[in-house]
């Protein structure tokens, strides 16, 4: 016997606002975890020697680079969406067309900021 689905699972369609809200929470968690890695890097710089060499080896490995790229992506998204929330807190941008456009702008700025940061890091 098949169990019926809850009505909200059949009626609800994800919207850009709900998806970005969930991503904002997840990126906040990712930034907190990534900040521990950033703090460890600062400690490794201060300690120097083998600790710094080992930390650099981990952060420059493929897995380390993927982690750092993800952290940069999370930072860019959280910053962009946070600016959007500041406008909302000031009472601006609640029209549905503006909400959808600002959501797309958040995604665009996330991509642009992440790419710019990585290009600057790789070039200079």
Angle at 81 between CA 78 and CA 87, to 5 degrees: 140
The residue segments making up the domain with residue 76 are 17-123
Q: With a cut of 90, say whether residue 65 has pLDDT above it.
A: yes
User: Structurally, how many domains does the chain consist of?
Assistant: 1
Higher pLDDT residue, 2 or 53?
Answer: 53
What is the pTM for the complete model shown?
A: 0.86
d(CA 10, CA 34): 36
pLDDT one-digit tens code per residue, 14-36: 899 999 999 999 999 999 999 99
Q: Is residue 6 part of a domain?
A: no
Q: Is residue 61 part of a domain?
A: yes
Whichever domain contains 87, its CATH number is 1.20.1300.10
């Amino acid at each position: 016997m098949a169990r019926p689905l809850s009505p909200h699972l059949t009626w609800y369609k994800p919207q850009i606002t709900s998806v970005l809200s969930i991503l904002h929470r997840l990126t906040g968690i990712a930034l907190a975890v990534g900040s521990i890695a950033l703090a460890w890097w600062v400690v490794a710089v201060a300690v120097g020697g083998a600790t710094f060499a080992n930390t650099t080896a981990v952060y420059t490995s493929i897995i380390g680079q993927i982690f750092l790229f993800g952290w940069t992506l999370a930072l860019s998204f959280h910053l962009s969406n946070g600016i959007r929330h500041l406008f909302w807190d000031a009472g601006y941008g609640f029209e549905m067309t503006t909400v959808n456009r600002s959501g797309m702008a958040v995604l665009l700025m996330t991509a642009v900021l992440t790419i710019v940061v990585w290009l600057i890091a790789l070039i200079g």
